[in-house]
Amino acid sequence: MDPARLKEFLDQKVDHYNQPFFIAKDPVSVPHQFKKQQDIEISAFFAATFSWGNRTTILQKTTELMALMDNSPWAFCLQAGRPAIKKLLTFKHRTFNPTDLLYFVEFIKYHYSKHKSLESAFTKSMNPFDDTVENALSGFCDYFFSLEHVPKRTRKHIASPQKNSSCKRLNMFLRWMVRKDDHGVDFGIWKKIKPAQLICPVDLHVSRVAKKMGLITRHQPDWKTALELTEHLRRMDPVDPVKYDFALFGMGIDGDF
């Protein structure tokens, strides 16, 4: 497929999948249950962190955690004492266990006690003129694990480009927070990161479709692959390349390409 026809085809798929119906079966549905920005950020962060495996299970477990946090994750994390924290000891999602959860809550409490938004946790290590969010992701990982007594096992739950990870879950989280359009799936509540700087989330579905379309040549779904894919997508839309995540992921899930 020549570049012009490929762009036209993918634009049509973006228009199809980037619609309110997409929300219900996607992890992004969890933060859509909240109105306060901090609750949106925290619930989205957990939803993205849990996003590997079956989407139904991801939704169930993130919803379960929000219920344990009294459906007020910002207030819970800031104010929770021992009795409240004890409720979290029952929570587990695949390899994410209570040890991991307690550290996540500790970091969230630490950060929000000093900042109004999680956005600053990413932009603190990013130059506004950076081509991509690579520095933001690396800096966030370093910052996230900067507290005392970090459980060694918890480090596997926050990816970094420095380890050549595709950072799929963090890139998806940033897409939710940064992208803004009239379709209502992504929130667009962060303003210091530009959509043009985002990197497309790469999972097995996206990777498979992108390979068939000639958008990537690499076999491993790593950071270099994410950069390669995003560079191709920028040629089609330099301002908002990651909108094509809707098309690639949607077709991957539906198996129609």
pLDDT in tens, 94-110: 999 999 999 999 999 99
pTM, full prediction: 0.96
For residue 10, which of 175, 180, 253, 241 has the smallest C-alpha distance? 241
pLDDT at site 13 = 97
24-33, 74-83, 99-108, 120-129: which has the minimum mean pLDDT?
74-83
For the chain, the first-to-last Cα distance in angstroms comes to: 13
Q: What is the pLDDT of residues 1-24, one digit of tens each?
A: 789 999 999 999 999 999 999 999
Helix (H) or strand (E) holding 31: none
pLDDT at site 1 = 75
Q: Residue written as tokens 């619930």? A: 43
Residue 182 near residue 246, CB atoms below 8 Å: no
Q: Which long-range contacts (CB under 8 A, 24 or more apart) does 142-145 make?
A: 144/107
Average per-residue pLDDT for the chain = 96
State the pLDDT confidence band at 257, using cuts at 50, 70 and 90: low
